[in-house]
Amino acid sequence: MGVKILTIPAFLAQYPQPVTGPVVLSGRRYILRLHWSPLAGWGSGAWLLDVADASGVVIAASLPVVITGDDGDLLVGHHDDARTPPGRLVVARLSGEATDPTAYELGAAVEIRYVT
């Protein structure tokens, strides 16, 4: 089992804003977009993740970035699409309670891992 910790810009923990960037997962290039939505998460706000293929065609949109636990997967329900990364996207809190990331925690107290 391999684990890759996705690089999340540290400034997001101070200035939550949309950020888009390329990543290579299982040897294939993808484009990820993270954005904070104050209306998501039953009105308490939530980080959302979009996953697109290398050409920018969206594979999964507005996936809530929630603590999944080691066996979870943000991409559950999308693996029937051959373009989806074959591994799992896991969201983990570095310490403390297993609460979902707030606007100021992604990139500081919470990380996203790709597990193959």
pLDDT digits (tens, 9 = 90+) for 6-20: 999 999 999 999 999
pLDDT digits (tens, 9 = 90+) for 70-80: 899 999 999 99
Q: E-assigned strands of 19-75?
A: 19-25, 28-37, 46-53, 58-64
CB contact at 8 A, 48 and 62: yes
Q: What is the pLDDT along the chain (116 residues), one digit of tens a residue?
A: 799 999 999 999 999 999 999 999 999 999 999 999 999 988 889 999 999 999 999 999 999 999 998 899 999 999 999 999 999 999 999 987 889 999 999 989 999 999 99
Split into its structural domains, the chain has a count of: 1
* CA distances (Å), origin 18, targets 12, 62, 71: 9, 12, 27
Range of the domain at 50: 3-115
Full-model pTM: 0.93
